[in-house]
Structure 1
Amino acid sequence: MGTTRENGSLYIKIDNKIATIEFGHPASNSFTAELLGRLTAEIDKLSNNDDISVIILKSEGDRAFCAGASFDELMAVSNLEEGKVFFSGFANVINAMRNCKKVIVGRVQGKTVGGGVGLVAACDYVYASEAASIRLSELTIGIAPLVIAPAVERKIGTAAISELSLAPTEWKSAYWAQEKGLFSKVFDNIKELDKDLEFHVQKLADYNPEAIEEWKKALWQGTDYWNDLLVERAAITGRLVLSEFTRNALSKFKK
């Protein structure tokens, strides 16, 4: 049973040095600003928790992994400041994941859109099911995937993010995402996925946490400037969301 809370839900479970973060929202696990803020705070907290070695990031249910930003909150943005604050939500989560001292393993069971693709890209290792197709649909509503682009591009490169974002109505398969480097492994079904995932994270949890922390720093080297860049990009996106084009596109979608 998925959450019915309109601001979404966030559950943390810690077991055997492994922390599982599960987010949910009735609208295909999309993100409200409040939920993004809670996720950022939890990742920061877990980063400094010496009792855990690895984090699994997953979402509720067996359908969509994440539909990106909350449609209702996008519609409600009424000025530049609100726009910047809303899109900074994704910027803050990506930066928290990047700076986290623990390895973050993503579990992607289904379709992933927009900001959700950014979250997947900010994971260090990603398990996906065959149903986990992806799309960057931002251009269809008059904005662009500016905030998440550095994370996605770091994983799949400029050519692939161009292909993905400039065909914003086209779904790319889980195997396409694996071939480009966004997904580490793809499975036929959730059962197989979870079995392999559990085995792998148990192994990761037994490695030297100091070695993991130093290695993660090395893997993310050269991204410190994202602290400013992603927030600047959030401000640009906030401006775009107020454009007449976007207002018209959003109201058409709503109908």
Structure 2
Amino acid sequence: MEPFVTLSIENNVGYIVFFHPSRNAMPSGILTLLAQTITEAGQNETIQVIVLKSGGDRTFCAGASFNEVIAIEDETMGKAFFSGFANVINAMRQCPKLIIGRVQGKTVGGGVGLAAATDYCMATKYASIRLSELSIGIGPFVIEPVVSRKIGTTAMSQMTLDAETFFSADFAKDKGLYAEVFETIEALDEAVKVFAERLAGYNPEALKAMKSVFWKDTAHWDVLLDERAKMSGKLVLSAFTKNTLKRFR
């Protein structure tokens, strides 16, 4: 299948679906389209609540495109690449509509950032999480603010330093990343639908005001995440990282 980002509307709920055949690892073009789609959904008066989900029934998001990481040749390319998830997170933060996350499977790196940037996230028991960046010589700098905001610095540090471990969905729920964990995708989808449509029936002005309260003190993130993308863009050119990436090529 070809990669895609789609938006559909049902009962005043906007369903945004992203997909890439490589375990939903996200190239720059798909990340740009995803950020644009989130912005457009936020401006659509028919939509009261947004659900963010990925296609397929296994990995929610494997992070950024590995092929693009390998192809980075200078700091400008590096910063542009790592700005991909930064732009999506900022689009989610600035969106006036509440965003519900639907995480059906494993999520790595930037995918953990997407889950953390939702306002309410539901998952299956298969939705383990991992921050693998340090193991290849960079770090989860771009997503750190949103992940730390959701699960706290202690849990963020634990995941970052234990970079080769998948942490369970129960761990993610215990730390506050997931609100609920379900046995099956079918149970997850039913719960997401019921919850989203219930929220969509509430006062839209109250929902918008609540969103702004949830994201207070983050107005500086446009600059912060840009700086973090620059950090990652520089580190990815280091001899350590280049040598590590060659082993995966």
Q: Report the TM-score range of the alignment, normalised by the length of the smaller protein.
A: over 0.9
After TM superposition, the structure 1 = structure 2 runs for residues 135-214 of structure 1, keeping only pairs within 5 Å, are: 135-214=130-209
Counterpart Cα distance in 1 of 2:132 and 2:248: 13
Note the residue ranges of structure 1 that are not aligned, 5 or more in a row: none
Give the secondary structure class of the aligned counterpart of 1:147.
Answer: coil
- TM norm structure 2: 0.99
- Amino acid in structure 2 at the alignment position of 1:234: A
Counterpart Cα distance in 1 of 2:144 and 2:168: 19
Give the secondary structure class of the aligned counterpart of 1:98.
Answer: helix
After TM superposition, the structure 1 = structure 2 runs for residues 42-191 of structure 1, keeping only pairs within 5 Å, are: 42-191=37-186
CA RMSD of aligned residues (A): 0.7
- Amino acid in structure 2 at the alignment position of 1:46: A
Counterpart Cα distance in 2 of 1:219 and 1:60: 28
Q: CA deviation at 1:195?
A: 1.2
Counterpart Cα distance in 1 of 2:206 and 2:119: 15
After the TM superposition, list the runs of 4 or more consecutive aligned residues in structure 1 that deviate by more than 2 angstroms.
none
Counterpart Cα distance in 2 of 1:20 and 1:168: 32
Partner of 1:233: 228
Q: CA deviation at 1:12?
A: 1.1
Q: CA deviation at 1:23?
A: 0.6
Q: CA deviation at 1:194?
A: 1.1
- Amino acid in structure 1 at the alignment position of 2:82: F
Partner of 2:33: 38
Counterpart Cα distance in 2 of 1:60 and 1:199: 20
- Amino acid in structure 1 at the alignment position of 2:18: F
- Amino acid in structure 1 at the alignment position of 2:61: C
Identity percentage of aligned residues:
51
Counterpart Cα distance in 1 of 2:137 and 2:165: 16
Which of 231, 241, 247 is the aligned partner of 1:246? 241
Counterpart Cα distance in 2 of 1:208 and 1:74: 44
Q: CA deviation at 1:78?
A: 0.6
Task: String of CA shifts for 1:57-110, please: whole Å, max 9, x gaps.
Answer: 100111000000000000111111111011111111000000101010000000
Task: String of CA shifts for 1:135-171, please: whole Å, max 9, x gaps.
Answer: 0000111100000000000000000000111000011
Q: CA deviation at 1:241?
A: 0.6
Q: CA deviation at 1:111?
A: 0.4
Give the secondary structure class of the aligned counterpart of 1:215.
Answer: helix
